[in-house]
Amino acid sequence: MKTRVIILMILGGFASHISMAQEVDVSGFVRTYEGVNIETGDFSIIQQTLNLNFEKRGEKVAFKANPMMYMYNSDSLSFNMREIYMDMYFENFDLRLGKQQIVWGKADGVFITDIISPLNLSEFLLPDFDEIRTGVIAAKLDYYVGNGTIEAIVIPQFTPITRPDENSIWYIQPDFPAPATFDWSKSTINPSLENTEIFLKYSAITSKIDFDLMGGYTWDDNPAMHVEKEFDMSSGNPVLTGLNITPQHHRLTIAGGSFSTEIKGLILRGEAAYYDGKYFQTEDPMAVDALIQKNYINYVFGLDFSIGGVKMSGQFIQKYILDYNDFMTENETLNTATFLARYDMLRETLHLELFSYIGLTDYDALIRPKITYDFDDSFSILLGGNVFVGDEVGQFGQYSDNTMIYAKVKYNF
């Protein structure tokens, strides 16, 4: 911990010197964030955050570095260089090299074509959406053609989703039918030309509609669990005695797109993707490693509108597995909805907001009310809640014991 603090202090001092000498723009925020479990009264979250942005812009070249530090409790420090990249500007195209966060798609709070930067789910879906993504080391080329842009991305080093550790309140212990041992030796993907991820997107803005078309040859951020079963045959009948589980990432081919358009004051949004080559768990006794390979479709339709000064948005999301069979442990369809309502008052200094995920398949939900007051452009206080309800087998209901209220105090500079 002391080493990380020293590194951060050196970085801050160096950046300060560079800022004065080279006119680097320095911005960021400090934030304190505490959450209390309403059932136990225990602090679920005690987090202090320092976020720094260093930017230097020229006519042909620009540079950005975004170090971020989280301190949990009083003795746990997490330091992360979220982004550090260089931009180069040419006549018809721009090139960005380095660690960067890449955001695609039109959906709010769901990730369908927005899959390039993997998610950090160590705190489930609670972090701000501009903080939940993990930067990837990539080369990104934007080539401009008329009112359209061709975007090509090459990622030489695969980065998986970040999951909660076993001591986290967001960790869910898997329910295995027998004692399980894990072999993680095949979960690492070494950087190489063969293992490179490639994405391509064409986007255009017209007077009637904004749209994009995308494709990708990537790795599944979630590893497939290859399961080898051990049996005791001493009684004459096979008795399951153990599971040997080997997590392994597999290739996915993805094609999709998104659009948004305005119709009489209403904003209609849509996004869809076809995933080829996904591995799903199955209980089919004939399946190798308890896995079966299927394709699936994931899509969302959304509508944004205002009534009486209240900004509202609703989305319907569905994941549909093609060529489904009853041995598969996952549902053939997973239906989810989101709802957002926001009202600004007192000259837009007081903000009332309600955002909810609603599980239509598992009958569960995550309800997130919050109130924010801006004292000025730099200082704000937020009070909110994260309410988990519903069936404990659902992706939201499984966290029903984690319902909390929280407060955030934030200073931007």
Q: If you write DSSP's letter for every residue of 278-297 in order, what string do you get?
A: EEEEB--TTSGGGEEEEEEE
Q: Which amino acid is at 282?
A: T
Write down the pLDDT at residue 13. Answer: 55
Write down the pLDDT at residue 74. Answer: 73
Domain locations in the chain as residue ranges: 1-82
Cα separation, 375 vs 330, in Å, equals: 47
SS3 (DSSP) at 4? helix
Do the Cβ atoms of 386 and 357 come closer than 8 Å? no
Write down the pLDDT at residue 380. Answer: 98
The DSSP H or E segment spanning 20 is helix 2-22
Residue 413 in tokens: 């500079």
Cα separation, 1 vs 5, in Å, equals: 6
Cα separation, 94 vs 60, in Å, equals: 10
Residue 285 in tokens: 């006794």
Write down the pLDDT at residue 76. Answer: 84
Write down the pLDDT at residue 293. Answer: 98
- Give which of 150, 131, 97, 101 is closest to 29, Cα–Cα: 131
Do the Cβ atoms of 37 and 399 come closer than 8 Å? no
The DSSP H or E segment spanning 13 is helix 2-22
Q: What is the pLDDT of residues 332-348, one digit of tens each?
A: 999 999 999 999 999 99
- Give which of 235, 274, 241, 269 is closest to 255, Cα–Cα: 274
SS (H, E, C) 134-185: CCEEEEEEEEEECCEEEEEEEECCCCCCECCCCCCCCCCCCCCCCCEEECCC
Write down the pLDDT at residue 175. Answer: 86
Residues of the chain with pLDDT under 70: 1-22
Write down the pLDDT at residue 73. Answer: 77
DSSP state of 399: G
Write down the pLDDT at residue 31. Answer: 98
Please name the residues in contact with 298: beta carbons below 8 A apart, sequence gap of 6 or more.
112, 272, 273, 275, 317, 318, 319, 320
Write down the pLDDT at residue 129. Answer: 85
Cα separation, 279 vs 287, in Å, equals: 12
- What length is written for the chain? 413
pTM over the 0.75 mark: yes
Do the Cβ atoms of 51 and 57 come closer than 8 Å? no
